[in-house]
Structure 1
Amino acid sequence: MKIKLSPFSIIFAIYKSKEIVLRYFLEFAYNGTHYHGWQIQPNAKTVQETLTTALSLLLKNPIELVGAGRTDAGVHAKKMFAHFDYIETFETEELLKKLNSFLPKDIAVHNIHPVATDAHARFDALTRTYEYHITLEKDVFSDETRWYQHRPLNLDLMNEACKILFEYEDFECFSKTNSDVFTFNCTIFNAVWEQKESHVVFTITANRFLRNMVRAIVGTMVNIGMQKTSLSEFRTIIESKNRSKAGFSVPGKGLFLTQVTYPYI
């Protein structure tokens, strides 16, 4: 005997069978010294894999993390975001404690934000800010987080170069070659060099960054600070759209992602 279900019964059964998926933003920091960057890759220790493994074990479900961007090997993050989906609610403070107890000492989770199900850690980011730290004196206590440059740098010239950046949008000359991107255009909102006791810090904020862009800009500006490259040559480099014309790429260890902004956090 066949049982005939009403349209309402069928709709109700489908509704009951569906799992409600919730989305969360993870806010965290890491020292990237012992990692091959953020993004999961074969035969390499990465931040994404370490965090994903920890979350999956503690939540007892496979978790997929989508980051706000990717950092290269040795690069650090003071404030990074990634989103993940989960089918249940949980006690945020309790999970934070468990995560920070479970994770290695060079990764710390600061917050977990419930967000709308269509929120996206990468595509919804309004701005990203990086800092690059250069020490002018050999310092055995900051070797992992600053690049040692013993030659004096003319910060006035380097800050003049910063002003030139605001005049352009296409920064292909600072992008890693063969990068698979739809555009090389970026809007830079802030760029400045500052002296801080025995080291200098470059801070740059933009709506997006190309792969290796900050490290290539810093390397080119260091050449300006050592008066190996002129300000007029800096313009020519940008307009050339040719990576080989720009300066060297400074080591990743001095680079920090310090801020990512969103319209809802």
Structure 2
Amino acid sequence: MNNYMLRLAFVGTNYSGWQIQPGVPTVQGTLKEALETVFGEEIRVIGCCRTDAGVHAEDYVANFRSIKELECEKLLRALNSLLPKDIGVYEVKLVDENFNSRYSVKGKTYLYRLWNSFVRNPFLYPFSWSVTRRVDLNLLSEALEIVSGRHDFRGFAKLEEDKTTVIELETKLAVSGDLIELRFTASHFLRYMVRRLVGAIVKRAEGKVSTGELYEYLKGKHCPHTAPAKGLTLERVHL
């Protein structure tokens, strides 16, 4: 049995996330359909993680198995000819039979983009959260520092039984004019975790959430602030 690893990128705007769901377009379902066209057999596609509806990926890792062996270059060309323009596969590789994209991944980096201006940027609009009220960058940086490190992030997440909620989180802040970029790196993430972290951090930077409330969220209190999905991109999967 041949085990193929794929690295792909996608714009999540038109998809209800990665995972197959009945009656709605998903990235996994679209990729599965293309693979089954190429191989002429049923294919089970395994993804490195779920993504929410509207979330993007610059680097996503998936794998699947088939009794058929195709040249990786030919498969790469075939997939890119079949897939819609908002999904692109940029690497195909035969890997060890034990490789599983969900469990073999060592970590991930998410990027969240904020556009902090009342003047719309049409090129960044599909990939960022437009925050028209000027945020306090000092408060934002302080809030980011508070959530960095080892914490129990259950207050920021929808809990999943198979994932520990205690996570070591690395964060980075980059500012270029009105564009604010927040990066989050960890071994794994909980559902909605990054979007709720960003939501709380922005509320703190706007003076609408206190430092004490941030610490309460880190103690398990439910965070009610969720940033829009379109600003979030899975930037890198670490193998």
Q: Which band: TM-score by shorter chain? A: over 0.9
* Alpha-carbon distance between aligned partners in 2 of 1:195 and 1:123, rounded to the nearest angstrom: 34
Is 1:170 aligned to residue 149 of structure 2? no
CA–CA distance in structure 2, aligned partners of residues 65 and 204 of structure 1: 26
Give the counterpart letter for 2:141 in structure 1.
N
**2: CA distance between counterparts of 1:155 and 1:34?**
32
Deviation at residue 201 of structure 1 after TM alignment = 0.8
SS state of the match for residue 96, structure 1? helix
Q: What is the distance in 1 between the residues matched to 2:147 and 2:178?
A: 26
Greater Rg by CA: 1
How do 1:18-33 and structure 2 match up within 5 A? 21-33=1-13
Q: Is the 8 A contact 1:55 1:63 kept in 2?
A: yes
Q: Which of residues 91, 96, 112 is equivalent to 2:92? A: 112
Question: Any idea what SS the aligned residue of 1:110 has?
Answer: strand
Work out the CA distance in 2 between the residues paired with 1:260 and 1:156: 30
Give secondary structure in 1 for the equivalent of 2:143. helix
Aligned-residue identity in percent: 35
Instruction: Tell me which amino acid in the other structure corresponds to 1:72.
Output: D
* 1:169 match: secondary structure: strand
1:92 maps onto 2:69 in alignment: no
**Which of 241, 255, 258 in structure 1 is aligned with 2:235?**
258
- Cα offset, 1:54, TM superposition: 0.1
Which of the residues 116, 137, 161 maps onto 2:143?
161
**Aligned-pair distance for 1:196?**
1.9
TM-score under structure 1 normalisation?
A: 0.85
Q: Give every structure 1 segment of 4 or more consecutive aligned residues whose post-TM-superposition deviation is greater than 6 Å.
A: none
Q: For 1:143 and 1:162, locate their aligned partners in 2 and report how far apart those are by CA, in whole Å.
A: 23
5+ unaligned residues in a row in structure 1: which ranges? Answer: 1-20
Other-structure match for 2:193: 213
Distance in 2 between the 1:208 and 1:130 partners? 11
Of 158, 165, 174, which aligns to 1:184? 165
2: CA distance, partners of 1:128 / 1:182: 15
For each residue in 1:27-84, what CA deviation from the matched residue of structure 2 results, as whole angstroms up to 9, or x when unmatched?
A: 0000000000000011110000000000111111211110000100000000000110
Structural mapping, 1:13-162, within 5 Å: 21-137=1-117, 138-162=120-144
Q: Does the CA-based 8 Å contact 1:159-1:192 persist in structure 2?
A: no
Q: 1:233 to 1:29 in 2, by over 3 A?
A: same
Q: What secondary structure sits across from 2:99 in the alignment?
A: coil
SS in 1 for 2:141: helix
C-alpha RMSD of matched pairs (Å): 1.4
8 Å CA contact 2:151–2:218 kept in 1: the answer is no
Residues 128, 208 of structure 1: 8 Å contact kept: yes
Q: How many residues align?
A: 237
2:221 is matched with 242
Contact preservation (8 Å) 1:37, 1:70: yes
Higher strand proportion (structure 1 or 2):
2
Does the CA-based 8 Å contact 2:6-2:62 persist in structure 1?
A: yes
Say whether the 8 Å CA contact 1:217–1:247 is kept in structure 2. no
Q: 1:104, CA displacement in angstroms?
A: 0.3
Letter in 2 for 1:253: K
Aligned residue in 2 for 1:198: 178
